[in-house]
Structure 1
């Protein structure tokens, strides 16, 4: 599977919901781990954009696992402070990880000259992040946005995923040849 295909498929699993008896069959931590796998395959140096996005995707895999365990157990989910913190971390982390993942892809596409594709991905990530933040605020009662924002966010994330799938085979998004640069000096840390 191509790295960007892994990222897009990870978004499908992480943002999608296929429920059976109240249990989401699309296990979010697996989606974020798949996304991290694709990002880390594209990492070209120890501290590039794909590496930073990969770090956030790994963090989201962990946060999603905690959220799945916490909300799957019989904890008081409505008023619990811990439930609110986990919910905020899950929502904000997903938006940040998505932003950074698409940003890394855009930064790789733009120098190749495909400016229209990069611009469309840029608009879609802004739309996903903006509508996601509005939905999060509405979820906490700060706004009554109705279902229009949710439908628009779903359409934006779907368009973003489709664009990532369509961009996966671009030569500029091929994994780097050879090993990733070692961040440690020869001989390790002294």
Structure 2
């Protein structure tokens, strides 16, 4: 089965979207890996995998589309100064950051869940198991990071490093699984 010139592998788009959404390449304080672009890439890849309304890829796509807006708001809110003299109160930018982070973790969970549901029945048990472990690691460590960020736990530098490693591993597994035939775009499978 060959892809047409205008199409791209959906998992490649999703993995690249995660690179944009979770990566940071700063130049003069501006992140060149613009998060909304990443979530847009994820939504595009998920749309290519969609079979029907209501399937797991539809739910994940809806969340990725919502994350485009949330991350746009978070980008603009990150430039708004917040009062540091009241540590017990939450500023609007902190609430938006929390919503952005929690939404990103939910989007990862829904996206990887949809992929696992698609590949497991086709005998890709080891890839499905790796993806399952990695989504648990990314989300669990992300939640620990949120708690640590709000002063509920002092986890030091180990948690962010472990989270980063889990995200990189998840992205690598997604890139490696991109060539699986049941993860080709829906229209390519229909014509192939």
Q: TM-score, normalised by structure 2?
A: 0.89
CA contact (8 A) 2:42 2:64 kept: yes
Tell me which of 18, 22, 32 is aligned to 1:11.
18
Residue 77 and residue 26 in structure 1: after superposition, are their counterparts in 2 closer, same or farther (change >3 A)? farther
Give the superposition deviation at 1:163.
Answer: 0.2
Matched ranges for 1:139-158 at <5 A: 139-158=149-168
Q: How far is 1:88 from its partner? A: 1.3
Structure 1 residue 80: deviation in Å? 5.1
1:94 to 94, 104, 108: 104
2:28 aligns with one of 21, 27, 41: 21
How far, CA to CA, are the matches of 1:16 and 1:124 in structure 2? 17
Q: Please, which runs of 5 or more residues in structure 2 have no aligned partner? A: 1-7
- For 2:142, the equivalent position in structure 1 comes to 132
Q: How does 1:75-94 map to 2 (within 5 A)?
A: 75-76=81-82, 78=84, 81-94=91-104
Contact 2:39–2:65 under 8 Å retained in 1: yes
Distance 2:118 2:184 in 1: 10
Cα deviation, residue 77, structure 1: 6.3
Query: Which runs of structure 2 are paired with 1:45-60 in the superposition (5 Å)?
Result: 45-60=52-67
Equivalent in the alignment of 1:35: 42
Q: CA RMSD in A?
A: 1.3
**Any idea what the Cα deviations from partners look like across 1:71-118, whole Å, max 9, x if unmatched?**
13x442656532222011101000000010011111001010010110
**Length-normalised TM-score, structure 1:** 0.89
For 2:170, which of 145, 149, 160 is the aligned residue? 160
Partner deviation per Cα, 1:50-71 (whole Å, 9 max, x = no partner) = 0100000011110000011121
Q: Structure 1: which 5+ residue stretches go unaligned? A: 179-190
Which residue matches 1:183?
Answer: none
Aligned residues: 177
Kindly tell me: are residues 123 and 77 of structure 1, through their superposed partners in 2, closer, same or farther at Cα, counting changes over 3 Å?
farther
Hey, what's the Cα distance between the residues in 1 that align with 2:24 and 2:32?
A: 7
1:65 aligns with 2:75: no
How far 1:176 moved relative to its partner? 1.5
